[in-house]
């Protein structure tokens, strides 16, 4: 019989490898990584997860602060596969509220996540930085995947451009003042176009997320129209 796990009214079944989550070698997926400090302060942030093989992933820690420090501190993380635009937005722009968290074996995860897995660090290498976070030191981190769980959620969602527009806008938001500092004019024109698309085709959560991103951009850069 397949082992089942119930967390906050969501049932999960155990899986053996990343392919079961439709995550394949060599591809990078946008996820929410949850971590905690040694003092049990929890954190969530969007992180790109690269599949190295069926049970190993690689992440680049160079653009985040808490996730980076927590992973260096204790080497543990949960990778949450979710589609909620507001969770991506809140965890990029500020801190995710307590109400969004759950626990798996006393470790923070995102409530009602569609799929998740626990992982631990097996190798850390330094990398060239993209900014001055963490005293200018970035890391390439290889992790071994432990427990993998898939929820019974299997809804098929037709393609829609809004979520992609939000993910692209959040990446621009994160890189605007360093990687893209010499092409801010061009990036801002693109962000306004992504904003237009999202408001045309998106649902209420997506439109709300995009509004938060654009408001935050204008508040942080008073020269933007």
Ligand X SMILES: Cc1cc2nc3c(=O)[nH]c(=O)nc-3n(C[C@H](O)[C@H](O)[C@H](O)COP(=O)(O)O)c2cc1C
Q: Pick one of 47, 87, 141, 194: the residue that binds ligand X (CB under 6 A).
A: 47
Unique residue bearing structure tokens 């060239």 = 128
Provide the minimum distance between the beta carbon of 71 and ligand X in the complex, in angstroms, as a whole number.
Answer: 9
Instruction: Answer yes or no whether residue 144 interacts with ligand X by CB under 6 A.
Output: no
Provide the minimum distance between the beta carbon of 134 and ligand X in the complex, in angstroms, as a whole number.
Answer: 9
Instruction: Answer yes or no whether residue 92 interacts with ligand X by CB under 6 A.
Output: yes
Unique residue bearing structure tokens 């929890």 = 42
Q: Which is nearer to ligand X, 13 or 111 (CB)?
A: 111
Residue 174 pairs in a beta bridge with none
Q: Which is nearer to ligand X, 16 or 193 (CB)?
A: 193
CB 59 within 8 A of CB 50: yes
Q: Which is nearer to ligand X, 45 or 110 (CB)?
A: 45
Provide the minimum distance between the beta carbon of 28 and ligand X in the complex, in angstroms, as a whole number.
Answer: 8
Strand 76-81 to 28-36 pairing: antiparallel
Contacts of ligand X in 18-37 (CB under 6 A)? 30
Instruction: Answer yes or no whether residue 167 interacts with ligand X by CB under 6 A.
Output: yes
Provide the minimum distance between the beta carbon of 59 and ligand X in the complex, in angstroms, as a whole number.
Answer: 6
Residues 6+ apart with CB under 8 A from 207: 162, 198, 199
Q: Which is nearer to ligand X, 152 or 193 (CB)?
A: 193
Give the span between the Cα atoms of 197 and 104, in whole angstroms.
Answer: 37
Residues 6+ apart with CB under 8 A from 117: 18, 21, 78, 79, 145, 146, 147, 148, 149
Residue 190 burial (CB count, 10 A): 14
- Binding-residue total with ligand X (CB under 6 A): 20
Q: Pick one of 34, 36, 63, 195: the residue that binds ligand X (CB under 6 A).
A: 63
DSSP summary character for residue 100: G
Q: Report the interface residues with ligand X, using CB under 6 A.
A: 30, 43, 45-48, 59-67, 92, 167, 170-171, 174
């Amino acid at each position: 019989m397949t082992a089942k796990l119930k967390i906050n009214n969501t049932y999960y079944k155990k899986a053996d490898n990343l392919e079961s989550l439709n995550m394949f070698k060599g591809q990078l997926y946008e996820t929410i990584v949850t971590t905690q400090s040694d003092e049990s302060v929890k954190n969530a942030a969007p992180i790109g997860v690269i599949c190295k093989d069926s049970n190993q992933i690689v992440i680049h820690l160079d653009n985040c602060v808490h996730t980076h420090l927590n992973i260096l501190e204790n080497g543990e993380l949960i990778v949450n596969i979710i589609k909620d635009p507001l969770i991506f937005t809140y965890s990029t722009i500020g801190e995710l509220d307590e109400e969004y968290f759950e626990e798996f074996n006393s470790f923070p995860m995102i409530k009602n996540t569609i799929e998740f897995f626990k992982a631990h660090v097996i190798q850390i290498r330094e990398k060239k930085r993209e900014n001055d976070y963490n005293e200018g030191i970035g890391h390439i981190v290889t992790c071994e995947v432990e427990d993998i769980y898939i929820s019974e959620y299997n809804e098929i969602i037709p393609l829609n451009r809004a979520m992609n527009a939000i993910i692209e806008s959040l990446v621009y938001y994160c890189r605007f003042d360093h990687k893209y500092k010499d092409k801010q004019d061009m990036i801002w024109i693109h962000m306004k176009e992504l904003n237009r698309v999202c408001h045309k085709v998106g649902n209420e959560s997506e439109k709300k997320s995009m509004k938060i991103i654009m408001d935050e951009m204008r508040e942080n850069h008073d020269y933007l129209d």
